[in-house]
Amino acid sequence: MIDLIETVAEPLVDAFRRPITYLRVSVTDRCNLRCVYCMPEAGLPWIAKPDILTFEEITAIVGAAASIGVRSIRLTGGEPLIRRDLERLVAMIAAVPGIDDIALSTNGLLLEAQAPALAAAGLRRVNVSLDTLHADRFTAIARRPGLDRVLAGIDAAVAHGLTPVKINCVVMRGANDDEIEAFAALTRERAVHIRFIEVMPVVENVEMQRDAWVSSDEVLARMNVLGELRPVPNPHGNGPARTFAYDGAPGTVGVISPLAHDYCETCNRVRLSADGHLKLCLFGDNHIDLRTPLRTGGGEEAIVEILRASMHVKPERHFLDLGQTASAMRAFSEIGG
């Protein structure tokens, strides 16, 4: 394959002069949890298996994106660790010229067993979703048990160098907001990076979200009770969190604020769905089909052309407000950086 890294001069830049350097890749739409803020307990209509991109197809799209400046890949779902042989995809992506960072967002249930192979294949770091430190609450929020497995997965990630380990906590009033201080205190003991995420409205949770929403400003005020927080750089990269640390703490705390303080002006990312559609905004309706041209022989140059053309319709920002419905489900597996 011709290495377009050197032959394509123009990097991928949207209409608002934001360089696009980050591609989030959903490898499956399925999940082994049913979190109350994300999807109904019975699940959702799943994508048919023939429509799911193969590892080879994902790698071809990653190669095209890398040739015009994408440098970071994050594997997401659904829950990506339920996709069989995921370490093989990691190794394939790690071999793509120009890709210098591969990360994973996971609920952590299967992480302990898979961490060694993923690290050996070239995975650099993980984000783990964890909304409570209490087993009974975990079962209530996720509608499945498994807190002990998630905590073991976090330990395995640290042990195998998948760091910095970021822990994403969706804050919900009346469900887990009384644990903000306990999560923050963990960063004084361990080199973990807690990010509190405002609960976002998706199709199944609009009424719950309106009542459960806690602003990032309130979260920060609650954490300041434990001691003064100072702003610090976001661990590894320019993700959406505003990040802080306590003096002498090995870890950090952060807030991700899609509603109270959107971060659209620094957006550097696009998303690839499990069935091969490019999504230009987490909360937008733009879906561009990459699977069809790929499967009809378009090749890398055709994908590059589509990626460039898509920049003309990438929106400047989302217009999501409290109590409104986002167009996409599973937003919480997609938001963390």
Q: What CATH superfamily is the domain 4-335?
A: Aldolase class I (3.20.20.70)
Query: For the chain, what is the largest distance between any 2 Cα atoms, rounded to a whole number of angstroms?
Result: 59
Residue that wins the pLDDT comparison between 236 and 5: 236
Q: Higher pLDDT residue, 160 or 258? A: 160
Where do the H-state alpha helices sit in the chain?
4-7, 55-66, 86-94, 111-121, 135-142, 147-159, 180-186, 206-212, 216-224, 291-295, 299-310, 332-335
pLDDT in tens, 136-145: 999 999 999 9
**Residues 109, 185: Cα–Cα separation, whole Å:** 23
Cα–Cα nearest to 166, from 110, 234, 120: 234
Every domain of the chain and the residues it spans: 4-335
Instruction: Output the average pLDDT for the chain.
Output: 87
pLDDT in tens, 9-52: 489 998 889 999 999 999 999 999 999 888 888 888 899 999 99
**pLDDT for 226:** 92
Residue 157 to residue 148: CA distance in whole angstroms: 14
Share of the chain above pLDDT 70, in %: 84
pLDDT digits (tens, 9 = 90+) for 186-242: 999 999 999 999 887 655 555 665 678 898 999 999 999 999 999 999 887 657 789
Secondary structure class of 106 (helix, strand, coil): strand
Q: Is 244 exposed, middle or buried (0-12, 13-18, 19+ CB in 10 A)?
A: buried
Q: Is the pLDDT of residue 305 over 70?
A: yes
Q: What is the mean pLDDT of residues 181-187?
A: 97
Higher pLDDT among residues 126 and 285, named by residue: 126
pLDDT at 4 over 50: no
Alpha-carbon distance of 33 to 225, in angstroms, equals 33
DSSP for residue 74? E
Please give the C-alpha separations between residue 12 and each of 58, 101, 289, in angstroms, as whole numbers: 18, 17, 18
Of 266, 231, 221, nearest to 252 (Cα)? 231
pLDDT tens per residue, range 277-288:
999 886 666 789
